[in-house]
Amino acid sequence: MSIVKANNRKRYIGFILTNKSDKRIDKFEIRNELQKKYLEFFDKKPINLGVDVIRFNGEKGIVRCSHTQKEDIIKILNSITSISGKKVKIETVGTSGTIKKLVQKHM
């Protein structure tokens, strides 16, 4: 059994992406846009802080971050209006401490 340290708690944020163009978007494009926006807002690289898109199926996805960054990441996700020149709308649907509960409750 492992003990989770208080400073290492993860949060999983579920989101739905509405793509307004016909071109498909992949998780790497979302990750790049998230990192770019994070750098704009906070002048830090999120990859060093554990922020990552861990799942995306073309419509729904999950972002992992620390519990202290949750609110900032939600604001950033909701502020994204284009990815790789494609107009999009991202709506966050819920957060959880585990992927399983996030999927059960919100996705």
Task: Evaluate if residue 15 carries a pLDDT over 90.
Answer: yes
Task: Evaluate if residue 4 carries a pLDDT over 70.
Answer: no
Bridge pairing between strands 10-19 and 52-56: unpaired
Bridge pairing between strands 60-66 and 10-19: antiparallel
C-alpha distances out from residue 39 to 51, 93, 95, 100, Å: 12, 24, 22, 29
Q: What is the mean pLDDT of residues 80-84?
A: 91
pLDDT of residue 28: 92
pLDDT of residue 89: 92
What's the rounded Cα separation, in Å, for the pair 1 and 86?
A: 45
Q: 6 exposed, middle or buried (CB, 10 Å; 0-12, 13-18, 19+)?
A: exposed
Name the least confident of 43-47, 79-83, 85-89. Answer: 43-47
Assign domain 8-106 to a CATH class. Answer: alpha beta
Task: Evaluate if residue 21 carries a pLDDT over 80.
Answer: no
